Structure 1
Amino acid sequence: VRVFTFSVGQHNYDKGPIQWMACENKGYYYEIPSIGAIRINTQEYLDVLGRPMVLAGEKAKQVQWTNVYLDALELGLVITGTLPVFNLTKGQNEKINQLILGVMGVDVSLEDIKKLTPRFTLCPNGYYFAIDPNGYVLLHPNLQPKQIGVGIPKVKLRKRRPNVQNPKSQEPVTLDFLDAELENDIKVEIRKKMIDGESGEKTFETLVKSQDERYIDKGNRTYTWTAVNGTDYSLALVLPSYSFYYIKAKIEEPITQARYSETLKLDNFDEAGYTFLAPREYCNDVKKTENNTEFLLNFNEFIDRNTPSSPSCNTDMVIRVLLDAGFTNELAQNYWSKLSLDGVVAQFVVTDGGITRVFPKRAGEDWLENAETYEVSFYKRSLDNDNYIFTAPYYNKSGANSYESGIMVSKAVEITINGKLLKPAVVGIKIDATSWMKNFTNTTIKSLCNSEICGCERNSMHVDCVILDDGGFLLMSNRDEYTQQIGRFFGEIDPGLMRNLINMSLYAFNKSYDYQSVCDPEEEPKQGAGLRSAYVPTITDILHLGWWASAAAWSILQQLFLSLTFPRFLEAADMEDDDFGAALPKTSCITEQTQYFFENDDKSFGGIVDCINCSRLYHAEKISNTNLVFIISDSQLLCRSCDPKPLMQAEKPETDEGPNPCEMVKQPRYRKGPDVCFDEAKQ
């Protein structure tokens, strides 16, 4: 603590006490003769405070880096490095000055830093991040500044918080590393070691939130970290096991290169399907744009006049995208064009190099996924899972039939080169939901049946049959009113059954806070009440029949299901290696997110949903090689006395402004103060 005292104006009081007070407390005493001299004299305390730093010499000449902030000169998000400038010259009395002249600094844009990193050789699920001594992230894929704009689309978008404005208009957010990812004990340890400037590596299983923030997957990740020389930052690289190596493409023949580039021409869409090109900086002279058609035209025009080895191009990226374009073109023309698959509305392939090809062309015209393959949720999920990944369409609460866009099914293509595993692409199809439901219900119906229940009959009064994905979203039902809700979280449709599935450990859930959200104005809540009815036992007989519960029957059901869904597509995969929101201002807020996932690898689950004056029996079975679970239960129509309160999954504003700070302060997160402190000098 330093005390600075001032004597202002002319007076007859003794100045000794206030002068002694300043000198005894490492301060300074000033005499200010008039009011006009107050400003000049009161600023001289800076010389006293800065003197210990000046006397520290080289120890004090260290670049200090700031947190991330929004630059006032429209550089976007930046960090600033500062260095003090000292005056050590000799005065007239040969006494060396001990003053700070000022501070020099430089602003470094985060966009410029990102350009220096090899993003597109890390695979979509690989990334790098950096943190400061407080544990706040400097770089991280989940560091996403909030949008200040209005009227942002709420539906028909899979890209997380799509940037509809100039990125320079975004507001920065201070985000802790443990809030940027799903926290666990190992990450807490890694964070501490990074703050302490240590180097290390750790491989472990962790929960991974999907790009669209609807799902959670379990994946193995290798974290490698080290300190950044000359700064107090620490840098880390995160890689899944299948991205330790990447494909370095080569096209030896110029003729082959020209042939592959022709497959990206717009007039090739009719034969080989609609093609999307990821908007990356392949060449400095190719103008990047979010309009796919315009970007393709710009790219094709440049490639027609130049070679991939042009000095303005990233040669590896250009050759890789041309190679992917050629391979996907051959897949479409030599295989897809010769198939006729009932109930399949589209076939597609998405590549690491940046190509998305959708067949036929008309399906590509309705394609809603991001052209940047590294930001496509189903693509990243498919890489982390060995199963076929079914992805439900986004449910539209405004009443539009979102299920008509189709249900997406995808799987990663795995290749092994010299013992090294690579996943260079994802292939898949889109299924017509109505046709799929019809085929599935027909598969489950028993022939020569004389009882009330003969399977999952359409609109049955006795049983409900549903298929959910690993996030708890509805993909199929035997009820027409449920079909209109495909893509909706099942906890909003049948909350009693969904709660029981959680209690039986079929599903687990993870709650987290999003500190970077923007919220719409609150709407008036809508209330409703359900009917009550008595219990009518219906499903007991089915669950006790050996035909239904036997492993053989389930195996047959799964085979029929997969054969209907993929008539010949799977064989080919093995052979071929709410409308827009109103224009109202959005506000910064904290939201609570909940994602559901399969808790364990158990296949079969069963139980009873107990209500006030009735109960419902149910049985659930995971479908092999998929992320789906099939559930048959007593009809909800026959037992409406259960708790009607819906179980919500969607992101919602946190009315208490996030976690309780009083609870958090009991277990504070580790942080590190400055290495040196210039509080006083001995000279």
Structure 2
Amino acid sequence: MRMEFLQRSFWAATQQCGAAEGPCPESCQDSDLDCFIVDNNGFILISERPQEVGRFLGEVDGALVTQLLSMGVFSQVTMYDYQAMCRPPTHHHSASQPLVSPISALLTATRWLVNELLLLLLEWRAWGSWRGDHGAEAKTVFHHSHKHKKQDLLQPCDTAYPVFVHQTAVREANGTVECRACQKSFVMQQVPSSNLLLLVTDRTCDCSIFPSVLREAEEVKYILWGSMTSAHNASVKCSRMRSQKLRRRPDTCHAFHPEENAQDCGGASDTSASLPLLLLPLWAWVLLSQLLR
């Protein structure tokens, strides 16, 4: 079923109240109403604004989701991602360190000068033959890619993020949200034989004082020691450190192994050209010349 057909069917259904009543006095196409079809996790499937489809309802209407959570229509569950990637923590050095030691400032300047010289040499080798706009464009691309690679350094981590689940026991609900100068009324009803919910809210009331309800993931920080740390937290941290180690190169280089026989390796210097293969093109040329006579 295409999304356009589903939306048309939904708008047509909201305009009919029943066989006896006929058309409804109010419908989702009214300018003072907002209608949403969301799933049991709060993601928008149908909206009057196409840019809202696929987004979480809390990002669009934080006041409505906050009220639904307080009424028990939705419940918040914390989920964990044990295969996430996070940015490593940045360690900022003290600003007074270069002032205390002149040697530190000299080393920093020397390191910067060497980096600039190496970068200049690399650019000259790679794009020395280019002229005009091509060289400038290539230089810009190089700087952008170099900066992008430095910013994309990630490491494995654990993250926690909230998930909102509809309580199936609550099939219908209605209420109001107290905003500053108005009350925002809403109605919720479950679509029969599905996990979808119909939400109708008042568009005229401004409830921007409520923040958006986001589903942002946060890195889980495991602490081994401390007065508030439990034994379970410490055991989980140790288990995660054993199973999730950062990849790095060996500290030492192993060029040989005691059980390895050096005579079994190499032998490329003993390779010689095959005489039949060298004479094969000559024979083919002689045979071809004889056939063409």
TM-score in terms of structure 2 length? 0.51
Matching residue of 2:11: 441
Contact 2:62 2:212 in 1 (8 A): yes
Partner of 1:625: 193
Cα 1:485–1:450 change in 2 (3 A) is closer
Asked whether the equivalents of residues 87 and 155 of structure 2 are also in contact (C-alpha less than 8 Å), the reply is: yes
Measured in 2, the distance between the counterparts of 1:633 and 1:658 equals 42
Cα–Cα, structure 1 residues 495 and 670, in superposed 2: closer, same or farther, change >3 Å?
same
Structure 2, unpaired ranges of 5+: 90-147, 237-293
Q: Which residue of 1 aligns with 2:167?
A: 599
> Which residue is equivalent to 1:519?
86
The verdict on how the C-alpha distance between 1:605 and 1:501 changes in structure 2, with shifts beyond 3 A counting, is same
Separation in structure 1 between the aligned mates of residue 13 and residue 175 of structure 2, nearest angstrom? 24
Partner of 1:455: 27
Provide the rounded CA distance (Å) in 2 between the counterparts of 1:512 and 1:669: 20
1:464 alignment partner in structure 2: 34
State the shift of 1:520 in Å.
5.5
Q: Deviations over 1:624-681 (max 9, x none)?
A: 221111111111xx2224434211124x233x7258975441666889xxxxxxxxxx
1:519/1:653 contact within 8 Å kept: no
Instruction: For 1:614 and 1:660, locate their aligned partners in 2 and report how far apart those are by CA, in whole Å.
Output: 49
Paired position in structure 1 for 2:206: 640
Partner of 1:506: 73
Tell me, yes or no, if the aligned pair for 1:610 and 1:642 is still in contact at 8 Å.
no
Cα RMSD, aligned residues only: 3.2
1:316-335 to structure 2, matched below 5 A, reads none
Corresponding residue of 1:665: 230
Which secondary structure state, in structure 1, belongs to the residue aligned with residue 55 of structure 2?
Answer: coil
1:596–1:450 CA distance, 2 compared to 1 (3 A): closer
SS of match in other structure, 2:27: coil
Identity of aligned residues (%): 22
Cα drift, residue 456 of structure 1: 1.2
Mapped partners of 2:233, 2:76: distance in 1: 25
- Please state if 1:486 is matched with 2:43: no
Q: How do residues 368-379 of structure 1 correspond to structure 2 at under 5 angstroms?
A: none
Greater RCO (Cα-Cα under 8 Å, separation 6 or more): 2
The 5 A counterparts of 1:383-394 are none
Question: Per residue, is there more helix in 1 or in 2?
Answer: 2
User: How far does the alpha carbon of each residue in 1:428-464 deviate from its partner, in whole angstroms, 9 at most, with x for none?
Assistant: xxxx22221122111111488899x52111xx32111
Candidates 145, 150, 157, aligned match of 1:589: 157
One-letter code aligned to 2:64: L
Checking the alignment, whether the CA contact within 8 Å between 1:591 and 1:658 is kept in structure 2 is no
Distance 1:625 1:659 in 2: 46
Alignment of 1:187-336 (within 5 A): none
Cα deviation for residue 516 of structure 1 reads: 3.4
Whichever residue aligns with residue 624 of structure 1, its letter is: P
CA distance in 1, matches of 2:223, 2:181: 38
Deviations 1:288-345 (A, max 9, x none): xxxxxxxxxxxxxxxxxxxxxxxxxxxxxxxxxxxxxxxxxxxxxxxxxxxxxxxx2x
Change (3 A) 1:449 1:625: closer
The one-character-per-residue Cα deviations of 1:52-75 (angstroms, maximum 9, x if unpaired) are: xxxxxxxxxxxxxxxxxxxxxxxx
Structure 1 gaps of 5+ residues are 1-343, 345-431, 523-581, 672-683
Letter of the aligned partner of 2:71 in structure 1?
M
| 1:66-85 equivalence runs, <5 A | none
Question: What is the alpha-carbon distance in structure 1 between the residues aligned to residue 194 and residue 79 of structure 2?
Answer: 27
Asked if 1 retains the 8 angstrom alpha-carbon contact of 2:223 and 2:233, the reply is no
Letter in 1 for 2:78: K
Question: SS where residue 484 of structure 1 aligns?
Answer: helix
Partner of 2:285: none
1:109-124 mapped onto 2 (5 Å cutoff): none
Question: What SS does structure 1 have at the residue aligned with 2:52?
Answer: coil
Matches of 1:606 and 1:660, distance apart in 2: 47
Q: C-alpha distance in 2, partners of 1:490/1:625?
A: 22
TM-score, structure 1 as length reference: 0.23
